[in-house]
Amino acid sequence: MCNVICVTNRKSVKGDFFALVERVASAHPQAIILREKDLLKSEYLLLADKVNEICFSYGVRFIAHTHIEAARGTLHLPIASAREYIGKIKVGASCHSLSDVLYAERLGCEYVTFGHVFTTRCKEGVPPRGVDELRRICAKTSLPVYAIGGIDENNARLAIDAGASGVCIMSGAMSDGGDELINKLTKI
């Protein structure tokens, strides 16, 4: 069984954001990270309350991004910001290199996301780090590593076989059929 973490991007949602989050939560991913970096803190906190309520109703872990005030147990951050929050709350970190991952491990992060592993529209023109680099990262850390970037039902198995503890999806989760994709991925 593949662990799936969904990452939000409300700007890519066609239709009602909360209805989509509810469909995603109904597919029971391991967690949903509310990553809405363009919002003012007050706007983010209001959005976080509603998304956390949806997550709670489906038994899905809610993970706040950047704003500790919105966190309900875990905060996800860029690796450069993680040190400030260690010891205050469980921290997950976005990493892009082996040195990032080893730093996260030394800090005491709970997990890391690593990517982008595959080609993705979110990072157009930027070469992916690839499965071989993911394999190298996973072999050198005891932290759970979640592959992110271009993950779909055709390549998620490659990430898991490389040692990833799971996968993160954003574009696939924030589109119609995101719940179906989660169901397919969790069966890998």
3-state secondary structure of 23: helix
Q: Residues 56-99: pLDDT tens digits? A: 999 999 999 999 999 999 999 999 999 999 999 999 999 999 99
38, HSE (Cβ side, Cα atoms, 13 Å): 4
Q: What is the CATH number of the domain that holds 81?
A: 3.20.20.70
Distance CA 80, CA 95 (A): 9
pTM over cut 0.85: yes
109: domain range?
Answer: 3-186
Cα torsion 104, 148, 5, 165: sign: negative
